[in-house]
Structure 1
Amino acid sequence: MSGFLYGVALQWKLDIRSKSLLVTCYIIPLIFFLLMGGIFTSVMPDMRGTLIQSMIVMSVSMGAFIGLPPSLLETYGSDIKKVYKSNGVPIYLGLITMFLSAFIHLMIACAVIVLLAPVLFEAVLPAQPPTFFLALAIYIIVSLSIGSILGLIIKNQAKLTMIAQLVFLPSIMLSGIMFPVDLLPDFLEMIGRIFPASWGYRLMLDKGFYLENLWYLILVFFAAVIVCGILLKKQKSD
């Protein structure tokens, strides 16, 4: 256990120094929040009631799909994996430590949004903070599990960047955070439901934490765990 905690702490320190993680988990999401928060609330004043959830979906999608996968590729697509094997370190340790570190960073970034949104844009705070943060934690975990698959299965950095964007952009454009999904054509609305952002957004809304919005996220998470297990087993045999 002490070795595991040391690994998590070490990964945390490495991530703090990572320019990529700083950009994807903090700088870009918070700049987007500061710019678009004012625009959204000016054009659509009613959006103050959902501004926090909308900005969080963007932040989590950015960190999970664009921030985490390159770190995994750097570890499992390089000689670092050989160091794990030669020292008897479980192959899954890197994934778990990076997953937990990214989770903490995203929670911090989201907490900043929750604290600043009411002050800067008169956004409405969640009516039930404990339920809201539980929904947020579930959404982050599911999003990171998908990001983990991307980082483990794709071996080329250029291809990873392209595919990560193909996951990230529909997540924010078709989830309902930019405009109501009712305005979308039916086929685009159905495509949007494939991505966890749509479900996570509804789960974080007031009175949105119920099984109808939760079951798909649970299904995606367990499917992602199985896929990651298969990919890690393949990494171990390579």
Structure 2
Amino acid sequence: MSAFLYGVALQWKLDIRSKTMLITCYLVPLMFFAFMGGIFTSINPEAHHTIIQSMTVFGVSMGALIGLPPPLVEIYGGNIKNVYKVNGVPLFLGVVTHVISAFIHLFMMSIIILVVAPITFNATIPKNLPVYVGSLIVFIATTLSIGSALGVLVKNISKLTMISQIVFLPSIMLSGIMFPIEMLPKGFEEVGKVLPATWGYRLMTCEKFEVAFLIPLIVILLVFVMVCGWVLVRIVRR
């Protein structure tokens, strides 16, 4: 256990120095928050009530879908996995340490938005903070499961970039954070329902846990955890 915790702490420190994680988990999300937060609240006064949740969905989606997969591709798409095997290190450790580290960074970024938004944009603080934090934790974990699956499935960085964008952009455009989901064509609205961003946004804007919004996130989480496990088992057997 001590070796595992040391590995997580080491990965967290490495991610702090990583330009990719710095940009995708902090710089771009917080710049988007600073820039678009003012625009949203100026155009639509009602945005004060949801600006925290919408900017958090954007930041978590970017960090999990664009920031997390590249380091995993370097491990499982290259020769680093062979180093793991030779030294008797479980292959799942690479995914677990990166996911926990990314989770901590994304949670910290989300807390920054939660604290700063009421000061800068007069945003409404969620009425039930325990429910909001619980919803945030589930949403981050679910989105990271998709990023992990992309990282272990795709073996080429250029392909990964394209696929990550294909998942990320609909997550932003079809989740309801940019404009009400009811304004979308019916087909796009249905597509949005398979994305964790849609359910995460709905869950975080509730004053109490809504099981109807929680279940899709749990299902997505379990599916992609199983996908990661299946891919890692195949790698071990090669």
> For this structure pair, what is the TM-score category when the shorter chain's length is used for normalisation?
over 0.9
Distance 2:63 2:37 in 1: 19
Q: Which residue of 1 aligns with 2:16?
A: 16
Distance 2:99 2:154 in 1: 17
Runs of 4+, deviation exceeding 6 Å: none
Distance 2:85 2:145 in 1: 23
Question: 1:204-223 to 2 correspondence within 5 Å?
Answer: 204-207=204-207, 209-223=209-223
Distance 2:235 2:59 in 1: 30
Matched, 1:110 2:110: yes
Asked if structure 1 preserves the Cα contact closer than 8 Å seen for 2:142 and 2:196, the reply is yes
Distance 1:225 1:39 in 2: 37
Matched, 1:100 2:100: yes
Distance 2:234 2:14 in 1: 26
Asked if structure 2 preserves the Cα contact closer than 8 Å seen for 1:174 and 1:192, the reply is yes
Which stretches in structure 1 are left out of the alignment for 5+ residues?
none
Secondary structure at the residue paired with 2:72?
helix
Please list the CA deviations of residues 1-32 of structure 1 after superposition, one character each: whole Å capped at 9, or x if unmatched.
Answer: 01101110111111111000000000000000
CA-atom RMSD in angstroms:
0.8
Question: 1:130-141 to 2 correspondence within 5 Å?
Answer: 130-141=130-141
Q: Which residue of 2 aligns with 1:84?
A: 84
TM-score, structure 2 as length reference: 0.98
Question: 1:2-151 to 2 correspondence within 5 Å?
Answer: 2-151=2-151
Distance 2:3 2:219 in 1: 31
Asked if structure 1 preserves the Cα contact closer than 8 Å seen for 2:8 and 2:100, the reply is yes
Question: 1:179-198 to 2 correspondence within 5 Å?
Answer: 179-198=179-198
Aligned-pair CA distance for 1:129: 0.8
Matched, 1:224 2:224: yes
Aligned residue pairs total: 238
Distance 2:121 2:208 in 1: 23
Q: Quick one: percent identity of the two aligned structures?
A: 55
Distance 2:135 2:17 in 1: 29
Aligned-pair CA distance for 1:69: 0.4
Asked if structure 1 preserves the Cα contact closer than 8 Å seen for 2:196 and 2:217, the reply is yes
Asked if structure 2 preserves the Cα contact closer than 8 Å seen for 1:202 and 1:208, the reply is no
Aligned-pair CA distance for 1:208: 5.2
Distance 1:10 1:76 in 2: 19
Aligned-pair CA distance for 1:207: 2.4
Aligned-pair CA distance for 1:220: 0.8
Please list the CA deviations of residues 189-220 of structure 1 after superposition, one character each: whole Å capped at 9, or x if unmatched.
Answer: 00111111000000001325211101111111
Please list the CA deviations of residues 25-82 of structure 1 after superposition, one character each: whole Å capped at 9, or x if unmatched.
Answer: 0000000000000000000011100000000000000001000000100111122111
Which stretches in structure 2 are left out of the alignment for 5+ residues?
none
Asked if structure 1 preserves the Cα contact closer than 8 Å seen for 2:131 and 2:208, the reply is no
TM-score, structure 1 as length reference: 0.98
Distance 1:76 1:170 in 2: 26
Distance 1:208 1:44 in 2: 25
